[in-house]
Structure 1
């Protein structure tokens, strides 16, 4: 999938992309049999620096530094959307992303200018495919001045009719199986059915399970930076980042 199409020595089409933010590679760690935190969510040491996570991170960063099938991610905190542009232009075969991509490319899909398939992340031998399920919902603050009306609104927005309307926006799946199945049956491209099949291997992300996740998540792209840009050892960097996350979690 990674090709020099015109023979000039430069890559014209990439096989995949290495995207710095953790949401883009959380499934890779899980599907490699590892995790970033211990099961109780109270520490990273012993998980992020354990062999399954290190092996998954070695595979992930090796897409760039060893195999050369992914372009180098933008250096230290820079975000330009280069990987997405490559994908839209047909110069990137596999993009780590989610259903939220659909609204941006709906027109291209409808007129046949872009063809899209959905696959699971690769898994390590003996490990199970796993993907994070990012959920959203409606909440009513306890001090709202019109509590009954607010609760009624939240209930309506969470109901089948509102779910169907949101599905037509293309951003997400419905948490109501019957509503989602009915909508997927009308999708002539088959994408909603493909995404729905991924739910069976879904897990709640750490962001839905621990209070200080934003601070934890902020540490993780540094693993990619230090390994890909500085050439550091995955094991060494994972150990350092795990210790910093431990400090965040004990605050």
Structure 2
């Protein structure tokens, strides 16, 4: 019987890369996202390439009812989730605090904190009876340091850090692993979304450096799930070689 991984935000970036990596490693995959066409395309690709079962679920993590319905109504054979990759999230805008869009703030809080927590709690409730499971929470180096014009995005990722610690403590009696993975500069669709579709502005962030790509982060996440049952990587920061933290880069 194959292990099962549930991946939120699987239609692009880290989520899609994780879906490919885990499917290639023999996992059956539950993929979630808002874009039905991408979910359907990825489903067919994974089935054809890796001969695994794939369950696509279209919903928005910002909707509590949608999350609860999707998880509670999973077919019985899909409820035995071994790994949750809690990936859905976004950065919207890069503006000074006093000029930032309140709509952008709401989108980030609703997705990066509330939606993140809805999914984690719902899946944890399926893991608890088995006293087994692994929750991977996608944070950011912005969970460690606050930078100019990062305001609400940094705040939401600090919340991810805090909630990861809280999950680790509260789920301890059930032997559920909780790993927070904090990527640095990574060139994915995420960057383009932050700059409202301006690909040129997004790419400029990485001038003079070789940033992470989605597959790098997927490989790291997968490694965290391969360790013995008694071993858990609690907190992991991953950057490209030319980045030390949020502030120091070597651009050549």
Tell me, yes or no, whether TM beats 0.5.
Answer: no
Name which one, 1 or 2, has greater alpha-carbon Rg.
1
Q: What is the TM-score when the length of structure 2 is the normalising length?
A: 0.31
Kindly indicate whether structure 1 or structure 2 has the higher relative contact order, using CA contacts under 8 Å at least 6 residues apart: 1
In terms of fraction of residues, the more strand-rich structure is 2
